[in-house]
A = this chain, B = another copy of it.
Amino acid sequence: MSSRAHPVDGSPATDGGHVPMKPSPTRHKVGIPPKQNMFKDFMYTFKETFFHDDPLRDFKDQPKSKQFMLGLQSVFPVFDWGRNYTFKKFRGDLISGLTIASLCIPQDIGYAKLANLDPKYGLYSSFVPPLVYACMGSSRDIAIGPVAVVSLLLGTLLRAEIDPNTSPDEYLRLAFTATFFAGITEAALGFFRLGFLIDFLSHAAVVGFMGGAAITIALQQLKGFLGIKKFTKKTDIISVLESVFKAAHHGWNWQTILIGASFLTFLLTSKIIGKKSKKLFWVPAIAPLISVIVSTFFVYITRADKQGVQIVKHLDQGINPSSFHLIYFTGDNLAKGIRIGVVAGMVALTEAVAIGRTFAAMKDYQIDGNKEMVALGMMNVVGSMSSCYVATGSFSRSAVNFMAGCQTAVSNIIMSIVVLLTLLFLTPLFKYTPNAILAAIIINAVIPLIDIQAAILIFKVDKLDFIACIGAFFGVIFVSVEIGLLIAVSISFAKILLQVTRPRTAVLGNIPRTSVYRNIQQYPEATMVPGVLTIRVDSAIYFSNSNYVRERIQRWLHEEEEKVKAASLPRIQFLIIEMSPVTDIDTSGIHALEDLYKSLQKRDIQLILANPGPLVIGKLHLSHFADMLGQDNIYLTVADAVEACCPKLSNEV
């Protein structure tokens, strides 16, 4: 319906020469978009919500066989990048695979203890999930395995239900159940394309939450670092420091502290060296493995374990036993497993998707958020059946993987083969590894999670964001991980609700020598037209803000009338609402406009709308508000509207 927008005024078309004729006061009719029927309208919203990246784009008009191949490749990307895999890529993957293996083996043992599980489960979780991810995942740089924050979260959630010391078997079964349902949640989110739910954890909340979790994890390591036996179960800073100082006089073991402190300094210095130049990236990568080997050798020779230095003692040999029969599918443990699984799954997902996106942006390739979630979900489902607990992408190991020049997910396969070999042959060697070294490795690994720069940037840019960040940070440190998470999510939601219930409104003024109207606070030189008040509403008018918008406009009008009376300027006769930011309006919004129109009419002020969007003008016509207001009170631009008001104004003043 491309109706001629305005009558041809017969003036010779200016050829873009210097002095175009002043645009004759042709009043452009505000375009009404073609009437979309309900089904098309609903399909548009549905498609934008769930399929906004138009996944089936490449499938269009392809032969059946090609479509099947594309389908297979979309579920198992390995068939896609596997086809053009070169030896050069393999070299990069080999180096990076070995590097992250050396990093993940000591970390796995430590992280398993965070989840109150036997160290071997940490290694198991670095064997099966990476293999599954390599086939189904589409991120090239992510390093899969257990991570500190998720291990801590799982540990605290599980311990709240079952005490790992008194009934370890039941605890283990609940851990596998939680992992199973974490996988199901992640895969379901991906399958039903609900990926955008992850976006609800705001960036600021994640920064705060991660920082708080890092400090909590570091505090937990004090037990291993200082060699304390009796330690609090709670994770908040007060109870931890309390039990640390209570054990001060008799509990600390100076030999343990000596080992821990020396190797921690070694690890930190290797990190500083690594930062010096890109080429030295491997130094901080293999430092953990070296410190494990050296410290184990040292304890083995000096038999320090006799003088109170706690050691790993026993690490079973052999690969993952099947654990499908251990998963609870009935009883009240099932409900607990589901609840813990969903929370752990969502947090694990947020981390992995954030990592995937960061490195995809760096190497400029696209990853499909929803497909990632299906891959991460399936790897945890398979993992839960092979004695693994929740695995996800690890920030620190992925960064090392990226710097070590990994090309494809084959780096994960190499890592999991090295872990397999360790499980088969090397586990006895860890007998004399002191706990203190594991504590040092974990502390060293979590430090980069405390992102001070990001927090400072958030403070400078958006104060409300900063409150969400600090809320999550202190929530995790002073109360517990779940409460910290809860605070983070609720502040994020509150921010959305605030934005939706209290939109900004601005008074506009004309910028001299242009036909442009802008916010007078931002452009002090903009002048207001006497007798006319122009207000811009900066959001869609919905039920959640329609009353506020109406009352706020009436208050602007009230203040303006007082100023005009004080300066004895001409009375305000026109109220122009600049509607361009008003992307949509619902029935409550239309009622608010009707009420505003009636109350203005009683005070002999004419309401005028400028530049209503396609959706809004359509709805104003459907609800007959446009007829009530009068067609000639709706203009394309504020300039047109003011021009139309001026003649009426001049004869009155």
B463 and A199 form a contact (CB under 8 A): no
> Smallest distance from the beta carbon of A589 to chain B beta carbons, Å?
9
Question: In the complex the two chains form, what is the Cα distance from A567 to B393 in whole Å?
Answer: 44
Known contacts A581-B580, A590-B461; A28/B202 CB under 8 A: no
Q: Could you say which residues of chain B place their CB within 8 Å of the CB of A524? A: 1-2, 31
Tally A residues with Cβ within 8 Å of B.
Answer: 103
Complex CA–CA separation, A588 to B454 (angstroms): 11
Per-residue interface assignment for chain A, residues 501 to 520, with 1 indicating a CB less than 8 Å from any chain B CB and 0 otherwise: 11110000001011110110
Q: How far is the CA of A203 from the CA of B518 in the complex (A)?
A: 33
- CA of A539 to CA of B542, assembled, Å: 13
Is B622 touching A511 in the complex (CB atoms < 8 A)? no
Interchain CB contact (< 8 A) of A496 among B38, B49, B460, B542:
B542
A636 at the interface (CB under 8 A from B): yes
CB distance from A449 to the nearest CB of B (A): 17
Q: Contact check, A461 vs B586: say whether CB atoms are below 8 A apart.
A: yes
- Residues A583 and B501 in contact, CB atoms below 8 Å apart: no
Contact A581 B538 (CB under 8 A): yes
Is A521 in the interface zone, CB < 8 Å from B? yes
Q: Which of B522, B539, B545 contacts A33 (CB under 8 A)?
A: B522
Residue in B364, B465, B511, B599 whose CB lies within 8 Å of A361:
B599
Task: Say yes or no for A632: interface residue by CB 8 A criterion.
Answer: no
Contacting B at CB under 8 A, from A219-246, are none
Is there an interface contact between B460 and A547, defined as CB atoms closer than 8 Å?
no
Question: Contact: A542 with B495, CB < 8 Å?
Answer: yes
Q: Known: A463-B38, A516-B636. Contact between A357 and B499, CB under 8 A?
A: no
In the bound complex, residues from chain B placing their C-beta under 8 Å from that of A500 are: 496, 499-500
* Known contacts A45-B464, A519-B614, A544-B496; A586 and B357 CB within 8 A of each other: no
**A314 at the A/B interface (Cβ < 8 Å)?**
no
| In the assembled complex, A425 has its CB within 8 A of some CB on chain B | no
Asked if A52 and B460 sit within 8 Å, CB to CB, the answer is no
Pick the contact of A503: B547, B583, B617 (CB < 8 A). B583
A441 to chain B, nearest CB (A): 30
Find the B residue at minimum CB distance from A598: B361
Determine the chain B residues whose CB is within 8 A of the CB of A586 once the complex forms.
202-204, 461-462, 464-465, 495
Contact partners of A636 in chain B: CB under 8 A: 511, 516, 518
Instruction: Tell yes or no: A196 within 8 A of B by CB.
Output: yes
Partner of A587 from B28, B457, B492, B538 at Cβ < 8 Å: B457
- The yes or no answer to A324 lying at the interface (CB within 8 A) is no
Known: A20-B22, A581-B583, A586-B202. A613 touches B548 (CB 8 A): no
Whether the Cβ atoms of A41 and B525 lie closer than 8 Å is no
The contact string, 1 if C-beta is below 8 Å from chain B, for chain A 8-42, is 00000010001111110000100111000010011
Closest to A511 in B: B28
Assuming the A-B contacts A49-B502, A583-B539, are A364 and B602 also in contact, with contact meaning beta carbons closer than 8 angstroms in the complex? yes
Contact B461–A587 (Cβ < 8 Å): yes
Expressed in whole angstroms, the minimum distance between the Cβ of A536 and any Cβ of chain B is 9
1/0 per position for A289-320, CB-CB distance to B under 8 A?
Answer: 00000000000000000000000000000000
Say how many copies of this protein the assembly contains. Answer: 2
- Assess whether A136 is interfacial by the CB under 8 Å rule: no
Chain B residues with CB under 8 Å of A544's CB are 196, 199-200, 202, 492, 496
Q: A52 and B502 in contact (CB under 8 A), knowing A19-B22, A462-B619?
A: yes
Complex contacts, A555 vs chain B, CB 8 Å: 52-54
Whether A204 touches B538, Cβ cut-off 8 Å, given contacts A31-B522, A464-B45, A544-B496, is: no
Q: Any chain B CB within 8 A of the CB of A99? A: no
Please name all residues of chain B whose beta carbon is closer than 8 Å to the beta carbon of A627 when the two chains form the complex.
none
Closest to A41 in B: B463
Whether a CB of chain B sits under 8 angstroms from the CB of A543 is yes
Please state if B588 and A203 are interface contacts (CB–CB under 8 Å). yes
Q: Does A623 contact B (CB under 8 A)?
A: yes
Contact with B along A244-265 (1 / 0, CB 8 A): 0000000000000000000000
Point out the residues of chain B lying under 8 angstroms from A571, CB to CB: none
Asked if A623 and B461 make an inter-chain contact with CB atoms under 8 angstroms apart, the answer reads yes
- A50 (CB) vs chain B CBs: closest residue: B502
A80 to chain B, nearest CB (A): 19
Q: How far is the CA of A422 from the CA of B501 in the complex (A)?
A: 46
Q: Tell me whether A48 is interfacial, beta carbon within 8 Å.
A: yes
State whether the Cβ of A336 lies closer than 8 Å to any Cβ in chain B.
no
Are A511 and B462 within 8 A (Cβ)?
no
* Set of chain B residues within 8 Å of A492, measured between Cβ atoms: 543-544
Q: What is the CA–CA distance of A516 and B23 in the complex, to the nearest angstrom?
A: 12
Query: What is the bound-complex CA distance between A303 and B538, given in angstroms?
Result: 69
1/0 per residue A532-546: CB within 8 Å of B?
000000111011111
- Among A576-621, those with CB < 8 Å from B are 580-581, 583-584, 586-588, 590-591, 595, 598-599, 602, 611, 613-615, 617, 619
Instruction: List 7 A-B pairs, Cβ < 8 Å.
Output: A18-B22, A19-B19, A33-B521, A38-B463, A53-B551, A496-B544, A511-B636
| Chain A to chain B: the 5 pairs with minimum beta-carbon distance, closest first | A202-B543, A581-B581, A2-B524, A522-B614, A538-B583
Name A's B-contacting residues (CB within 8 A): 1-2, 4-5, 14, 18-23, 28, 31-33, 38, 41-42, 45, 48-49, 52-54, 196, 199-204, 357, 361, 364, 369, 454, 457-458, 460-465, 492, 495-504, 511, 513-516, 518-519, 521-525, 538-540, 542-548, 551-552, 555, 580-581, 583-584, 586-588, 590-591, 595, 598-599, 602, 611, 613-615, 617, 619, 622-623, 636-637
Task: Give me 17 other A-B pairs in contact (C-beta within 8 A), A52-B548, A499-B542 excluded.
Answer: A19-B21, A41-B463, A45-B502, A49-B501, A53-B555, A196-B502, A196-B544, A199-B501, A364-B602, A457-B587, A460-B622, A461-B587, A496-B544, A504-B615, A522-B614, A538-B583, A581-B583
